[in-house]
Structures are given as structure tokens and as C-alpha cells.
Amino acid sequence: MKASILRSVRSAVSRSSSSNRLLSRSFATESVPERKVAVLGAAGGIGQPLALLMKLNPLVSKLALYDIAGTPGVAADVGHVNTRSEVTGYVGEEQLGKALEGSDVVIIPAGVPRKPGMTRDDLFNINAGIVKSLCTAIAKYCPNALINMISNPVNSTVPIAAEVFKKAGTYDEKKLFGVTTLDVVRAKTFYAGKANVPVAEVNVPVIGGHAGITILPLFSQATPRANLSDDTIVALTKRTQDGGTEVVEAKAGKGSATLSMAYAGALFADACLKGLNGVPDVVECSFVQSTITELPFFASKVKLGKNGVESVLDLGPLSDFEKEGLEKLKPELKASIEKGIQFANAN
């Protein structure tokens, strides 16, 4: 019985494995395990398209959409899409517990986005409190869920979440993820353009954190391999690091990346669900508790399994340029992590 369930899961999952297929398949998957996904901040710029993409994911059986306002409308709208999951909207703090109960994966895009001229750290004062209160509720209502933290500054919000869970006695480092998938998505797109290779075949690990120079794409490990000049690699690295700012400036005060982030968030949540369902060899970059550098949290390739993080993979060989980038990012990343830890313990 178990083997046949696993076979069905594997075949359903492999049918939905590529990112394009994730967006287009809507077949019945009766033997795929029941999985509840909650999106907190579901009525926002990221939350709405992310809700739609999660509704298209055949691995999801229940989709809970929570926000402080606007979720009944989003849920009614997305709920009419004829795919597997049952959609429920929850609005206001008194409904947060119900939204979270029984969740396998909680995705958090709740909080304010940047405007031109701001850094992600400028969002700390508002978003740190939002993340702290949402994580307090997660510790109470779904302590075993995998957490996909999107809210910025990710370099600080992930440590805040860890401290909240530690205080509640529910912390499991295997279950807490900072979503850095958008950095990988950008690095792949920009590399494919310069290397003139099909973007669907491109792989580029991105390590470090999720802000400015803490984002370090490893183009020396990019595949398919291409003979790019040092100047091109420097420019690609800078464009990846500044990708968020490029969107913030283009939106000219109307927020930051929402559509590409929803896509990236849906890819990462799909990888988490595959891991939970026992699909082998699911590897994505993510900002997690880590011992591969001296920093307590670090983004790198992570193997996902039935309990979340199965293993944090080595960085692999770095070019001299990347080694230099790694040393340069550490002080900023360390300070952002410490800021999060201090906030969680002082408030």
C-alpha cells in the first residue's frame, strides 16, 4: 500500500516537476497525500499571484489564505479555479489559528515592500514585528510546519523566527527556510541571456543571504558551461545582487517584485512539498541554519526531505572573485542576523 502511494506521488510529482508544468497541470491526484498550505499576507502583491500558483499545484489539497484584510475576495476568486485544492479565506487575527491549524507548509509574504531609495533593512522596523507575531501563532497552531519566509529583510526575519520558535520550545532548524529562490531565478535568466544558452537548462547556485552584496551567485559553477569574460561575470553578479532594486526602481514607488517572487515562492514551496512527500534528490538554494561558514544562518544548496532540510550541501569550488565576495558579505550578513536575534529577545 505504502509503496503504491509513493509510486503515485513520484509519478504525479515528476509530471509536475518542471517550472512550466507547475503552472499548467491541473489533473486529479487522489493518491497524492493530503497537504495543507497556508499563505500569510495572501491579499498582497505577492500573496495573490502566489495563491493562484499554489492553487495550480496538484500536491496541495487545502489552501488557506490569510491576511489582515481582503482575503475573502481573493479566496472566492482563486477558489473557482478547477484544481484539486479546497480554498478558504481567513481575515483578521482572530482567524489566524484556524488558517494555520494542520498546515504542512506556511508561506509568509506578509509585510511592507520597499520604495525607491530604501534598503531591505529599512523595512525591519515594521516587518520584524509582523513576522514575530505570525511566528508566535505558528508555534501555537502548527509547530511542525515547514516555514517559507519571504518577508524582508530575510537576513533578519529568519533569525527572528528561529528565536520565537526557540522561546516557544518548538524550534526545529530543519523546518525554517528563508526564500532566496528569486535570486536563483534571476541569476539563471541573466546568465542564459549572456551565455546564449536555453534558460530552461540553466543552473546557478546562489549563496550567502538576500540583500545587496550578501547575494552571491556562483557563476563559476553555472551550467551549461560558457566561456564568459571576467567583466561579464562581474556585471552578471552585480545585476543579480541589484535585481530587487531594478524592479523597485522600475515600479517607481508602487512596490517591489511581486510576479517573479510569486513564481519563485511557488517553485520553492513545490520543492518543500516534494521533499515532504518523499521525492528523492530535491535540491534548492535557501537561507537556513548552517555550519558551512562561521555564520549561524547562510544560503546555500539544501537537500529537502520528509522532515524539511535533509542536508546542507557544501559550497563546492569557488573562483577567486567568489572567494573575495564571500569574505566581503560576511560582516553585513552577520550584523543582519544579530539584529534579528536581538529584536526577538528584546521585544
**End-to-end Cα separation, the chain, in angstroms:** 49
Residue 247's binding partner among ligand NAD, ligand LMR, none (Cβ under 5 to 8 angstroms by kind) is ligand LMR
Which residue, 152 or 237, is less far from ligand NAD as judged by CB?
A: 152
Rounded to 5°, angle at Cα 120 from 290 and 93: 85
DSSP 34: P
Residue 248's binding partner among ligand NAD, ligand LMR, none (Cβ under 5 to 8 angstroms by kind) is ligand LMR
Block residue for cell numbers 489582515: 68
Residue 175's binding partner among ligand NAD, ligand LMR, none (Cβ under 5 to 8 angstroms by kind) is none
Q: Among 57, 71, 88, 152, which residue interacts with ligand LMR (rule: CB under 6 A)?
A: 152
The reply on whether position 261 binds ligand NAD by CB under 6 A is: yes
Which residue, 9 or 248, is less far from ligand LMR as judged by CB?
A: 248
3 state SS of 50 = helix
Which residue, 106 or 341, is less far from ligand NAD as judged by CB?
A: 106
Rounded Cα gap, residues 225 and 270, in angstroms: 27
* Options 62-70, 168-176, 243-251, 285-293: segment touching ligand LMR (CB under 6 A): 243-251
Which three-class secondary structure string do you get for 320-346? HHHHHHHHHHHHHHHHHHHHHHHHHHH
Rounded Cα gap, residues 171 and 163, in angstroms: 8
Nearest Cα to Cα of residue 67 among 96, 106, 24, 29? 96
Rounded Cα gap, residues 264 and 206, in angstroms: 14
Which residue, 43 or 337, is less far from ligand NAD as judged by CB?
A: 43
Block residue for cell numbers 534528490: 281
The reply on whether position 128 binds ligand NAD by CB under 6 A is: no
* Options 191-199, 224-232, 240-248, 262-270: segment touching ligand LMR (CB under 6 A): 240-248
Active site residue ranges: 210
The residue ranges of DSSP E strands in the chain, in sequence order, are 36-40, 62-67, 86-91, 105-108, 146-149, 176-178, 206-208, 215-217, 282-289, 297-305, 308-312
Which residue, 60 or 128, is less far from ligand NAD as judged by CB?
A: 128
Which residue, 16 or 180, is less far from ligand NAD as judged by CB?
A: 180
C-beta of residue 204 within 8 angstroms of C-beta of residue 218? yes
Residue 58's binding partner among ligand LMR, ligand NAD, none (Cβ under 5 to 8 angstroms by kind) is none
The reply on whether position 257 binds ligand NAD by CB under 6 A is: yes
DSSP 94: G
Q: Site mask, ligand NAD, residues 303-342, x = CB under 6 A?
A: ----------------------------------------
The reply on whether position 47 binds ligand NAD by CB under 6 A is: yes
Block residue for cell numbers 524592479: 247
Residue 226's binding partner among ligand LMR, ligand NAD, none (Cβ under 5 to 8 angstroms by kind) is none
* Options 112-120, 131-139, 307-315, 316-324: segment touching ligand LMR (CB under 6 A): 112-120
The reply on whether position 256 binds ligand LMR by CB under 6 A is: yes
Instruction: Specify which residues 62 forms β-bridges with.
Output: 36, 86
Within 8 A by CB and 6+ apart from 214, the residues are: 155, 208, 329, 332, 333, 336
* Options 108-116, 212-220, 267-275, 339-347: segment touching ligand NAD (CB under 6 A): 108-116
The reply on whether position 44 binds ligand NAD by CB under 6 A is: yes
| Binding residues for ligand NAD restricted to 178-207, rule: CB under 6 A | 179, 182
* C-alpha cell of residue 28: 486529479
Q: Which residues bind ligand LMR (CB under 6 A)?
A: 113-114, 120, 152, 182, 243-244, 247-248, 256-257
